[in-house]
Amino acid sequence: MGRFSLKILLLLAGTVVLRPYVFIFLAVYLLLATWHLGGGRALAFLVLGYLIAWTAEFSSIHWGIPFGGYIYIPATVDRELWVAGVPFMDSLSYVFLAYASFSMALLALGRGGWQVRGFRLEEDLKFLGSWRVLILAAVLMVTLDIVIDPLALRGYRWFLGQIYGYPEPGVYFGVTLANFGGWFLVGLVMIRLLQFLITRLPESGWSWGRRDFPYRALLGPGLYLGILGFNLFMTFWIGETCLGWVGVFIYAPFLTWLGLKVCSGNDG
């Protein structure tokens, strides 16, 4: 093994040690997406989704498109893996955020209900590839970022560390509005890619590991809620009470409605 390869492996190991929460969420994504969509599709989306996210971030730090201008602070460049000025773990996280948002949109818009052996959701290919699901999933992904990015901007107050910043503070707790617009566009592209992988790839060779069992339709939304809960907890933990309550109130109407829909088994 060459010295360069060894260095990459050591930095990757350092990334896992430094960012264990990212890789826990990633492992959950791989398991749930394999059960849901098949292992081939889960891995394809991991690779292609990462490349889309990395390209968007690389473009933004150099040309301000699509997230607006911001900078990464290379404080951990000798302890974790960076790819051309972008933290590896940062672009990687877009993959499980997109899948979780997609799953939540399916639950919100799909037909399903409680049966003798659990909760099931109807998921035909037309529904999985629909524009309704695409738009809602992209909005849900942006809404997660409304909670995540202000917390990440305050990374110096918790174990994330200060990894990025803006030349000029944005209007939303220091985050720029252009950032959220960029997240919506990137979310649209990534989730449309996921829909393509689901609806266009053949079953043979791409669906290994898929499982159909009661409550499976609730697991992806559970990942979404887990990510949301982690970030809200950390927001309150660092003493950002106002920011935390804003996040709670943003989600309260949607989650209340969704909870009532799921509990009642409403097919609409």
Q: Where is average pLDDT lowest: 7-11, 153-157, 171-175, 262-266?
A: 262-266
b (16+ CB within 10 A) / e for 4-27: eeeeeeebeeebeebbeebeebbe
Please list the residues that pair with 121 across neighbouring strands.
112
- How many independent structural domains does the chain possess? 1
> Once rounded to an integer, what is the mean pLDDT over residues 23-43?
97
What is the sign, positive or negative, of the torsion defined by CA atoms of 73, 15, 10, 58? negative
User: Which whole-number Å values give the CA distances from 201 to 30, 95, 97, 123, 127, in the listed order?
Assistant: 18, 19, 22, 16, 16
Task: Place 14 in a pLDDT band, splitting at 50, 70 and 90.
Answer: confident
- Cα 220 to Cα 23, 34, 35, 100, 223: the distances in Å are 16, 11, 10, 5, 5
For 158-211, the pLDDT digits (tens) are 989 899 999 999 999 999 999 999 999 999 999 999 999 999 999 888 999 999
DSSP per-residue codes, 98-147 = HHHHHHHHHHHHS-EEEETTEEEE---HHHHT-HHHHHHHHHHHHHHHHH
Q: What's the chain's average pLDDT?
A: 93
Start-to-end CA span in the chain (Å): 57
Range of the domain at 230: 3-264
CA 147-27-163 angle, to 5 degrees, is 45
- Which residue spans within the chain are E strands per DSSP? 71-72, 82-83, 86-87, 112-115, 118-121, 164-165
Question: When comparing pLDDT for 96 and 6, which is higher?
Answer: 96
